[in-house]
Structure 1
Amino acid sequence: MSSTLEKYFVPEPSRFPIFGSAALLLIGAGAAMWLNRVSPGSWMVAAGFATLIYMLFGWFGQVVRESEGGKYGAQVDRSFRWSMGWFIFSEVMFFAAFFGVLFYVRVLALPELGSGKSAMLWDGFKSAWPNAGPYAEEAFTPMAAWGIPAINTAILLSSGVTLTWAHWGLLKGARGQLINGLALTVLLGVIFLCLQAYEYHHAYAEMNLTLASGIYGSTFFMLTGFHGMHVTIGATMLIVILARSIKGHFTAERHFAFEAVAWYWHFVDVVWLFLFVVVYWL
């Protein structure tokens, strides 16, 4: 048995949690006021996001300085890994709820409503997907899989390859490969977001596919929109990791921040594969 025990790093008291709490309060209260046309609402939301950005830069910057200062040992590394693992699990459950809604509507609700109970619904009801519901004023065109969605699928899969290539470069000490792989991954993520923005514009302007297009429109934009938000978050984290790599951070032995972002990005890739099959293809 070792005669020495590893010291567990205990950080100093931090002011950042209170800033995070204040940011969430401002965003929530401001959004409620904004939706109800109370004048300070939009300003409160803006102040909330500004406070949140300050908190994120300050708190994560402090963690980076502590990590680069050699204050973290194996126990802290295990804590970070467990924390990131549970965070990704919570994100899995987040998307599972939305996929569950789509499954319930398509596999359970529509067939049940079409089995002799359509008289309770609206004239012209058909137990078929996609379904616009009774309130859609004009017909819409469902989003096809073979076009921008298929291109975006290839882009995200390619980004997983470039990120893995960057990881190999880090493990073998090839700093150039690490930086180039990360830069390519960020570029692919940005291209994905630009194509998704174009797809949304095309849906609204030319296909009459909007959030008001019944259950199809709401589930389509809910699932793809939240995924786009996660791609944005992942690309932002990759930019931070890229900047740190350029500054010379990370070694082959100690690079959990890189691994954590890579886990998150691969999770985003896998979710998109499910989205492509279930939302666009089937």
Structure 2
Amino acid sequence: MTDATHEQAKGHYFVPAASNYSTFLSAGIFLLALGFIFKLNSVPAGVWSMLLGTAFILYVIVGWFGEVIAENRSGKYTKWEDRSYRIGMVWFIFSEVMFFACFFGVLFYIRRISLPELGGYEEAYTPYAGFKAAWPNAGPLGEAFTPMGAWGIPAINTLLLLTSGVTLTIAHHALIAGQRTKLVWGLAATILLGAVFMGFQAYEYIHAYHELGLTLGAGVYGATFFITTGFHGLHVTLGAIMLAVILGRSLKGHFSKDDHFAFEAVAWYWHFVDVVWLIVFVFVYWL
């Protein structure tokens, strides 16, 4: 954008046309969640609801991302929009911090407050007879299980995500330096590492269910384990999808050292996911 054009655009924030994508996204998330609940309760319609919800979400991802990319490439964005997007991304990541803080808060409450309190009921209430206030714990009525160890697949996954943070940083520096090939390979390596992470996590879940007895029925340990690692896995999946979009744009020659906020936003998100996993590894798997 020339200085003259910038002066004309100064003070005029770009407002896109009305869109139905947010409605489709809300419907997709609702149908996906509803289908998952149905599936847990053996309702046949659950699978179809999940598939329809997923289709809506994919439609929004392709369509909405495409519109935003087209707006950016047409020069409709100025420093006003860039600043707004940066502030918005910061607040979004902050909301994600609070989201995971809830899970870690629950884990802290259970281990430091609830378990000791329940341990004091051992003599007074029959259901608690023989209950030991030690972690890992299924609770007084949960199913028996073997806890997940920290130094197998979880340790490998930690190494994978830490390495992916390095490859993404290499790609970022390559973008700034104008090294397009290095940028593409760095992004591809990051996506591959994320995919391998998810593959290992899927294997870990199968192993937990079939060999360790670690299921959602394994009391409070099973519930906190699957909800925390599961939501983190979902974030890794979404991050990998966003990185794939950035890779596709990089192959088309998008981004420059002075105009690449989309890359930065995804990089911020991915590094956030890396940090969350380190906390998950320490407090869910290790301690």
Does TM-score exceed 0.5, indicating one fold? yes
Q: 1:202 to 1:78 in 2, by over 3 A?
A: same
Partner secondary structure for residue 119 of structure 1: coil
Q: Tell me, yes or no, if structure 1 residue 73 matches structure 2 residue 74.
A: no
Q: 1:249 to 1:43 in 2, by over 3 A?
A: same
2:130 to 104, 116, 124: 124
Partner residue, 1:62: 67
Query: Does structure 1 retain, via aligned residues, the 8 Å contact 2:176–2:256?
Result: yes
TM-score after normalising by structure 1: 0.92
Q: Tell me, yes or no, if structure 1 residue 87 matches structure 2 residue 89.
A: no
CA deviation map 1:96-135 (0-9, x unaligned):
0010110000011112222466523422111111111233
- The sequence identity of aligned pairs, in percent, is 60
Partner residue, 2:162: 157
Q: Tell me, yes or no, if structure 1 residue 211 matches structure 2 residue 216.
A: yes
Q: 1:270 to 1:173 in 2, by over 3 A?
A: same
Partner secondary structure for residue 128 of structure 2: coil
Q: For residues 118-197 of structure 1, what are the structure 2 equivalents within 5 Å?
A: 118-120=123-125, 121-137=127-143, 139-197=144-202
Q: 1:109 to 1:28 in 2, by over 3 A?
A: closer
Report the Cα distance in structure 1 between the residues aligned to 2:37 and 2:203, rounded to whole angstroms: 29
Q: 1:21 to 1:116 in 2, by over 3 A?
A: closer
Report the Cα distance in structure 2 between the residues aligned to 1:60 and 1:140, rounded to whole angstroms: 44
AA at the equivalent of 2:167: T
Partner secondary structure for residue 181 of structure 1: helix
* 1:52 Cα deviation from its structure 2 partner: 2.3
Report the Cα distance in structure 2 between the residues aligned to 1:153 and 1:276, rounded to whole angstroms: 7
AA at the equivalent of 1:244: R
Q: Tell me, yes or no, if structure 1 residue 267 matches structure 2 residue 250.
A: no
Mark the runs of 5 or more structure 2 residues left unpaired by the alignment.
1-5
Query: Does structure 1 retain, via aligned residues, the 8 Å contact 2:121–2:128?
Result: no
Report the Cα distance in structure 1 between the residues aligned to 2:209 and 2:180, rounded to whole angstroms: 44
Report the Cα distance in structure 2 between the residues aligned to 1:210 and 1:25, rounded to whole angstroms: 25
Q: Tell me, yes or no, if structure 1 residue 14 matches structure 2 residue 31.
A: no
Q: Which shifted more, 33-42 or 238-247? A: 33-42
Partner residue, 1:111: 116
CA deviation map 1:126-171 (0-9, x unaligned):
111111123334x321111111111111110010000000000001
Q: 1:66 to 1:223 in 2, by over 3 A?
A: same
Q: 1:237 to 1:118 in 2, by over 3 A?
A: farther
Report the Cα distance in structure 1 between the residues aligned to 2:138 and 2:215, rounded to whole angstroms: 10
AA at the equivalent of 1:280: Y
AA at the equivalent of 1:212: G
Q: 1:224 to 1:27 in 2, by over 3 A?
A: closer
Report the Cα distance in structure 2 between the residues aligned to 1:140 and 1:101, rounded to whole angstroms: 21
Mark the runs of 5 or more structure 1 residues left unpaired by the alignment.
none
* 1:41 Cα deviation from its structure 2 partner: 5.1
Q: Which shifted more, 227-236 or 203-212? A: 203-212
Report the Cα distance in structure 2 between the residues aligned to 1:143 and 1:28, rounded to whole angstroms: 27
Q: Tell me, yes or no, if structure 1 residue 199 matches structure 2 residue 204.
A: yes
CA deviation map 1:46-77 (0-9, x unaligned):
32321222122111100001101111000001
Report the Cα distance in structure 2 between the residues aligned to 1:27 and 1:202, rounded to whole angstroms: 25
Q: Tell me, yes or no, if structure 1 residue 255 matches structure 2 residue 260.
A: yes
Query: Does structure 2 retain, via aligned residues, the 8 Å contact 1:149–1:280?
Result: yes
1:99 to 93, 99, 104: 104
The count of residues paired between Structure 1 and Structure 2 equals: 280
Report the Cα distance in structure 1 between the residues aligned to 2:18 and 2:108, rounded to whole angstroms: 46
AA at the equivalent of 1:132: A
TM-score after normalising by structure 2: 0.90
